[in-house]
Chains A and B, each alone.
Chain A
Amino acid sequence: MSHSTVPRSSTEAETPEKTPTASGDATGFREKPPAGKLSLRHRFRRDRVLVLMTLPAVLLVLVFNYLPILGNVVAFQDYDPYISDNGIVSILNSPFVGLENFQRIFEDSAFWNAVENTLVLFFVQLLLFFPIPILLALLINSVVRPRVRAVAQAVLYLPHFFSWVLVIAVFQQMFGGAGMLSQLLRQNGYDGIDIMTNPDTFPFLLTAQSVWKDAGWGIIVFLAALASVSPDLYEAAAMDGAGRRRRMWHVTLPALRPVIALLLVLRVGDALTVGFEQILLQRDAVGPGAGEVLDTFVWWNGVRNQDFGYAAAAGLIKGVVSIGLVLAANKVAHLMGEQGVYKK
């Protein structure tokens, strides 16, 4: 990549080796340069400032990402938040109950309902959301005029930066019982409809919101992959008599394959996390029957009902299964000959 300070006219002008199709090291590790035989002391003297610079970030991660792992012991406790004024003291003083919380969870139909909703949502989102950014990227990519392209991109990216609160508010104004759609229907002699509170269509509502908010943003990666395809390939294909459609099939799509695989792996690894904030904001409108997913189940039982041990147990189950999913998805990616998230 060039490093002139002259602003680049178009960031789309990526060189091929900077795109995900390139065989970069996806973990972020570069090949270690031969370290030589420098002594530890020497290296420490040389690098101590660098290490110090990472310290604030490392500290934050240790405190807010690693330390709480220990807090999962409450999953094995009948945790009483009111024993003391401090969570840690309360943990130390709460009785251990073994696997009782887990036993309760497995007997709890509400938990299984949440599991079911989570999986349904995952699949609906996967099927309906995933292809849209690809299609949009192909569309944008075929736009010739740079101005049109820049404006379209600006508009499509915009909702990504809106908060969920705002997105849901917008949807409510458009599709709620008193929203624009109902208003139009009523003015034209039909009954209004309320999409926002219908549990049967809730997964589709959520997907529509996700599409509105993030589909535009999702095209970036695909655009880059498309930009990386060498024009020679198209030309060669055209010379061989391949029409528009065949070039798309034999040149464009193979170029997108690694990105698609990578994103799919990431998505599957994250299957149990389906839009916590988005759903929490709408859970009450449709009721927990349709609106409870694993994350909101944890929130409801813990934060809302102070049944922390129970909620933590549910959270722990989710966390463990999620790690398993990430590993499994990567394995699949490797078997398919793709890069995955990290190397073997």
Chain B
Amino acid sequence: MTVVIGKPADEPRPWAAPPRPAWEEEPSRAGLAGKAIALTLACLAILIPLWIVVVTSLSSRKTIDEVGGLVLVPKGITFIAYRELLSGGQVTRAAIISILVTLVGTLFSMAVSVLCAYGLSRSGSLGHRWILMTLLATMFFSAGLIPTYLLVQSLGLTDSYLALILPSAISVFNILVLRGFFMEISQELIDSARIDGAGDLRILWQIVMPLSRAVLAVITLFYAVGYWSAWFNASLYLNDQDMMPLQNVMIQLVQKQEAPVGLGQDIKTGQLSGLAVQMAVMVMALLPVAVLSPFVQKHFKKGMLTGAVKG
């Protein structure tokens, strides 16, 4: 762990950071082994199921039949399940829909949230308190599923992708996290920019946002994951099956073990392994998240913490 400039050279957790402080006892062998085992088990509990899902999705029907179900040890790799799913059918369409909704939704959510967070970042500004109150209060109550449902339906959002974006577009928590960060930015910097004649939008764009890349990355991930994982609003507000995003298709294919549109016959007659197809859909759903989240990982704590303090 590198040392942050301006901090004492020794880390704030001396008993964990080498070199060990003089007053601390040498850890016992058993203690170390216990810890290692516990940590390994915790990680394996997460990784093994994922491993099985991935391996099974890459296995041929023959392998799956031989082991009698899920595959732990790969015997040859085939992409047939993916090829079938991505050859332009139901799953391909659902994946494209999910990607588009996630992109558009995240962009919209970020724009609205960043603007709002900046708008609230100067304490004592006009209406600041009232607006903040209005937002905060929503964290403590919910209007209820039924009234919300009736409202969305009355607004004519049924069978519209807007129904997947607008009702859940902003998270007040995320706005508070952003605001907390923006408030930490040196006021002199902003003031001097203002004296140079920069408006608020420009200050936000040219000074505040570049200084907040870490938190912006975290919040973007939060929003993106939210859109990518959502299925309930789609099940509620979309009637047209052809509009369904990937998660909803996954419910049908994996939970109810139905066959993807167009592939039913191949699976029924055993030409294609239904299990591999299910697993492939699961991999498609987890892949973007599993690839992206570690990149942002190092910023998580900062984001979460500021949120916890300020919110």
Contact = CB atoms under 8 A, between A and B. Distances in A.
Is there a contact between chains A and B in the complex with CB atoms less than 8 Å apart?
yes
Given A49-B200, A61-B135, A238-B23, A231 B305 contact: no
A180 B49 CA distance: 9
Contact of B145 (A44, A163, A172, A299): A299
A322 interface: yes
A335 interface: no
B199 to A, nearest CB: 7
Contacts of B309: 18-20, 22, 24, 26
A188 interface: no
A65 B211 contact: no
A173 B70 contact: yes
Contact of A61 (B16, B43, B134, B199): B134
B210 to A, nearest CB: 7
Interface in B154-190: 154, 166-170, 172, 175-176, 179-180, 183-186
B125 A43 contact: yes
Contacts of A7: 214, 298
B21 interface: yes
B120 interface: yes
A13 to B, nearest CB: 5
A336 interface: no
A299 B146 CA distance: 8
A221 B45 CA distance: 22
Nearest to A62: B134
Contacts of A172: 254-255
Nearest to A147: B1
* SS class, residues of chain A in contact with chain B: helix
Contacts of A60: 112, 166, 169-170
A318 B141 CA distance: 10
B51 to A, nearest CB: 11
Nearest to B50: A170
A52 B148 contact: no
Contact of A228 (B12, B25, B138, B250): B12
A224 B305 contact: yes
Nearest to B8: A231
Interface in B7-54: 7, 10-18, 21, 23-25, 35, 38-39, 42-43, 45-47, 49-50, 52-53
A146 B147 contact: no
Contacts of B16: 141-144
Contact of A57 (B25, B148, B170): B170
A86 B155 CA distance: 8
Interface residues of B, number: 130
Interface string A207-220: 00000100010001
Contacts of A158: 46, 289-290, 293-294
Contact of A44 (B35, B126, B138, B300): B126
A58 B151 contact: no
Nearest to A221: B308
Given A19-B305, A162-B289, A238 B24 contact: yes
A166 B122 contact: no
A226 B52 contact: no
B305 A163 contact: no
Contact of A28 (B179, B186, B228): B179
Contacts of B10: 231
B96 to A, nearest CB: 17
Interface stretch (A105-113, A116-124, A197-205, A307-315): A307-315
A298 B145 contact: yes
B93 interface: no
Contact of A3 (B21, B211, B251): B211
Nearest to A323: B141
Interface string B264-303: 0000000000000011001001100110011001111110
B124 interface: yes
A72 to B, nearest CB: 5
Interface in A174-199: 174, 178-180, 183, 186-187
A26 B21 CA distance: 35
Contacts of A47: 122, 125-128
B250 A154 contact: no
B131 A54 contact: yes
Contacts of A178: 69
Contacts of A65: 138, 142-143
A1 B231 contact: no
Contacts of A169: 250, 254-255, 278, 282
A312 B125 contact: no
A183 B70 contact: yes
Given A8-B4, A64-B151, A53 B144 contact: no
A11 B300 contact: yes
A164 interface: yes
A63 B311 CA distance: 23
Contact of B7 (A13, A162, A244): A13
Contact of A163 (B7, B146, B229): B229
B195 interface: no
Contacts of B132: 28-29
Interface string A271-285: 000001100110000
Contacts of B50: 170
Given A33-B124, A158-B289, A173-B279, 20 more contacts: A24-B310, A26-B311, A56-B112, A60-B112, A61-B170, A61-B172, A64-B148, A64-B166, A71-B143, A71-B150, A72-B143, A72-B144, A87-B154, A142-B16, A162-B285, A165-B247, A173-B53, A180-B72, A303-B149, A319-B142
5 contacts: A30-B183, A150-B297, A157-B293, A170-B282, A216-B42
For the complex of A and B, the 8 pairs showing the least CB-CB separation, nearest first, are: A71-B147, A163-B229, A53-B119, A68-B143, A57-B116, A315-B144, A87-B154, A87-B150
